[in-house]
Every structure is written in structure tokens, then in C-alpha cells.
Amino acid sequence: MANDEQMDDMLTVREVARLLHVNPNTLRRWSNKGRIRAYRISPRGDRRFKREEIARFLAELNIQQRQLERSLEQIVATVINETSTKKAKPNTGSKSPE
């Protein structure tokens, strides 16, 4: 019975791929690379994912996204600062001959 309860708490490749809006092959690749932990449950090697692992993965992605956003904000602020401190070229006011 405990084994059935554990399996109920696990998600298939298809279910997780839908949750994450990725192709199932992308999820398998992430699993192979260790980005997300999968459990092999059958002689065929079917993968299952714990709900807690999916939550951890999403939290990690969220942290990475926030870090990227902060970096982008810093870059934009630097560019704006550099362009605003440059002196505008003076206009000579000369007109072209008519």
C-alpha cells in the first residue's frame, strides 16, 4: 500500500512536461543532465517525478530569473548613465548656402 501511495505522489513525463510547458524530450534531457531528478520505475525505464522535485525545480528557475532581471536592470542603468553623462555635440548653427 505504501508503494501505491508513493506512486500517486509522482508524475509522469507527460504530466510534468505539460506543467512546465516543454516538450517531453526536453524534460528527459534535463533529467539525463541532472537538472531535474527522475526515478526509473520499470524494466523499461519509465520515469516518474516527485511533486516536491518539481516545486524545487520551479523555485530554482524563479531565483535564476530574478537574478537575470537584476543583472539586466544594472546593465540598462549603466547604459543610461553613460549616455546621459556624455556631452551633446554643440550645434554650430551654420546654415548651408542657399
Give me the CATH number covering residue 10.
1.10.1660
Stated pTM of the model: 0.64
User: How many domains in the chain?
Assistant: 1
pLDDT tier for residue 4 given thresholds of 50, 70 and 90: low
Residue 43 belongs to what domain range?
2-82
Question: pLDDT digit string (tens) for 41-84?
Answer: 999 999 999 999 999 999 998 898 889 899 999 998 888 888 88
CA 90 to chain centre: 46
Residue pair 11/51 in contact by the 8 Å Cβ criterion: yes
More confident: 96 or 65: 65
In a domain, 70, yes or no: yes
Calculate the average pLDDT of the chain. Answer: 85
CA-based nearest residue to 6, from 66, 50, 61: 50
